[in-house]
Structure 1
């Protein structure tokens, strides 16, 4: 294990994590329907309620990161989710199901702010963008591999395959926890220990540029959700395309991210992060306008070509925006309260993710064209506002080259000084 570099151990942990998640995610509703016998609609309602409850743990996550360090929270979240998955086979009723799903939800909500904080601790400058790009790429590959493993297990036709999958996911989370725990932390800077930070969330509330960055992400977060929420309905019901096309488009997006995220982000590190992320928002806008225009076309072949073209544009928007925006946010958050800042920023993803099924399907029923135009206007406005916000952001956040590269740590550093 010690022979592996910091980056290699980190990426191996992400692959193991994503493979475990990919095994379970496509089967989440079916699993509890199979185990409990509850209707799929009731299972979905229970899972949604547990996910919303999990958001209550978001502020606590920020405090824990700043007090005990990001690595501790990442590992703790993995262990919490592993415990929840290990208990899944015991959930034979609605109450028991809610209890175990809520445990996993609290672990889930801790992941994004803690893992971004951890990346910010172990790498700086353009290396941060590249590591986040590699993470997005390999996690997409891991999710796909996990889905294939789950499909192969279920193809055997044995009811125990469901149990094997959830236990395998628990084992994957424990393995990822061990890998992340093995990564040494950078040594603490010389000099007196940092002053204890009081009223951390008040400092976040006073950081207006960061709050603006958080609010500007909300329209983009809704845009990210169209691939899994509204696009399948739009394609099959409004464009009268085959159900199988949905899976092909999803695979196109996933494979595109897995193959191209690293080289695209390496190219983008030469430019301002704000401009690259804004460009991604602009490409999203063009993709949404393209989807809207397809509703005006009746010929099947042009519609099919247009759907693929618009999906490729959507994928390009992700490639430009995803890793770059993550690096921008992590670099904008002050180090002493990075956990709290990123926990607040995570709400700009978590809330749209929770609301998207209801909001996007409601808009789709009201006016499919109107939904796409509203999404296009939202991401375009967000992109323009991000460029205008640029002068108010720290220089090391806007330009990757403004932050010094870290020295690679080869040995475990001493215990971290607690922060709050």
Structure 2
């Protein structure tokens, strides 16, 4: 089954290898930035929060520019420098000794990270055919989570807040991991060039840019769906899920760690099975199912708040089950969202389409954490559960409303079979 999921072109397979290697490095540091800045480097909680928030805000602000540059100069010419800049920013975290230097490192990381995800998605879409694109994006997500899981387990056994060098080591290794996809792209000069000339296609004359993207009604509906789903779904994991589990369900932080591990295991074990079963099925229907699955996960977490006081084991079981169920929903969302985005995109604006799609997570990442705390504090957590559950179900309705706006091919109900692998056009 794994072989069936692999992309046809060797360039795509090499890009996936780079994704995995960089994900291992990312997993080393992902859970520890706040702890590193506060417990190791001595920043206050408020200042550390501002640094992390600044990184998210700058990344979000620069993302539209990244999409424009990708379309104008080609994804490879933008992604490779961004990977080196990101590596420099991550490495500089090992040397921060003040709030100012932490802001400087965060700014450098944001500058590099603003175009990496959308650029890599654009490159991967350009070296995969429409018929295989959905499962390749799903495989990328599985490798991403596997790498993060491996990195997280490794760093958990290494780091010690009493030993600065352990944190410096993982940030240096994380920085080096960003060089892996950069080197891979440097060895493939024919990949990631500009896909089309806007002047030749008439986009520039018609207003071009993000105005053209926003005039795409199906894509607008997809963006609205994504904002609602991620705000009530993904964006709640870091703050809402953890806060509810610890404060309302009264489980220990170790149970939360087990739950996140269960989430990763679910993704890694089920992703390939899910993408195989989804082939030839409606993408809008799959997105609707994702909303229902996420809503179910939050209801299970809500049950943890009800039973946790009477049975610590039952509460912990519900928390772990919530994360596992949520992971199953992720296995459907991860291949469909980028595949549908690129099915709607045109070559001359593919970078902008992918940039807007990645911005969904940035915007929801600001809204979700800000609203989670007050909602959990009100009504003993019941209001928060009601809001995020209702939001996920609303997203399901938005996904169903998307289907009439899509062709059968865009919706994935017709499987396109490619028989010849042609290299991408070499527009300079």
TM-score by length of 2: 0.88
Whether the 8 Å CA contact 2:287–2:333 is kept in 1: the answer is yes
Q: Give the Cα–Cα distance (whole angstroms) in 1 for the partners of residues 160 and 316 of structure 2.
A: 31
Structure 1 residue aligned with 2:3: none
Aligned with 1:346 (options 358, 364, 367):
358
Whether the 8 Å CA contact 2:76–2:192 is kept in 1: the answer is no
Q: Does 2:25 align with 1:20?
A: yes
Name the residue aligned to 2:265: 255
2:243 to 223, 228, 233: 233
Of residues 69-78 and 95-104 in structure 1, the stretch that sits farther from structure 2 once superposed is 69-78
- Distance 1:88-1:267 versus aligned 2 partners, 3 A rule: same
1:416 equivalent in structure 2: 427
Q: Which residue of 2 aligns with 1:385?
A: 398
1:334 aligns with 2:340: no
In structure 1, distance between residues paired with 2:47 and 2:76: 36
Distance in 2 (alpha carbons) for counterparts of 1:166 and 1:140: 19
**Could you report, residue by residue, the CA deviation over 1:127-163 in whole angstroms, capped at 9, with x for unpaired residues?**
1111111111111111111123323332596432222
Partners in 2 of 1:193 and 1:41 — Cα distance?
A: 48
Gap change, CA 1:232 and 1:193, over 3 Å in 2: closer
Shift of 1:255: 1.1
Distance 1:189 1:217 in 2: 26
Is 2:134 the partner of 1:122?
A: no
Q: Distance in 2 between matches of 1:401 and 1:381?
A: 27
- CA separation in 2, counterparts of 1:186 and 1:158? 42
- In structure 2, the partner of 1:373 is 386
Q: Secondary structure at 1:153's aligned position in 2? A: coil
Contact 1:332 1:394 in 2 (8 A): no
Partner of residue 364, structure 1: 376
Which is further off, 187-196 or 262-271?
187-196
Counterpart Cα distance in 1 of 2:40 and 2:426: 44
Tell me the equivalent position of 1:217.
Answer: 226
Q: 1:191 to 1:77 in 2, by over 3 A?
A: closer
d(CA) in 1 for partners of 2:194 and 2:104? 39
Q: What is the RMSD computed on CA atoms of the aligned residues?
A: 2.7
Cα gap change, 1:266 to 1:194, in 2 (>3 Å): farther
Q: 1:9 aligns with which of 8, 14, 39?
A: 14
> 2:334 corresponds to which residue?
322
Query: Is 1:102 the equivalent of 2:107?
Result: yes
Is the contact between residue 27 and residue 149 of structure 2 (CA under 8 Å) also seen in structure 1?
A: yes
Q: Secondary structure at the match of 1:236?
A: helix
Q: How many residues align?
A: 412
List gaps (5 residues or longer) in structure 1: none
Tell me the equivalent position of 2:5: none
1:76 and 2:86 equivalent?
A: no
- TM-score w.r.t. length of structure 1: 0.89
2:71/2:195 contact within 8 Å kept: no
Aligned to 1:264: 274
The answer on whether the counterparts of 1:123 and 1:405 sit within 8 Å (CA) in structure 2 is: no
Q: Which deviates more from structure 2 when the two are superposed, residues 107-116 or residues 207-216?
A: 107-116
Which residue is equivalent to 2:310? 299
Residue 306 of structure 2 aligns to a residue in which SS?
A: coil
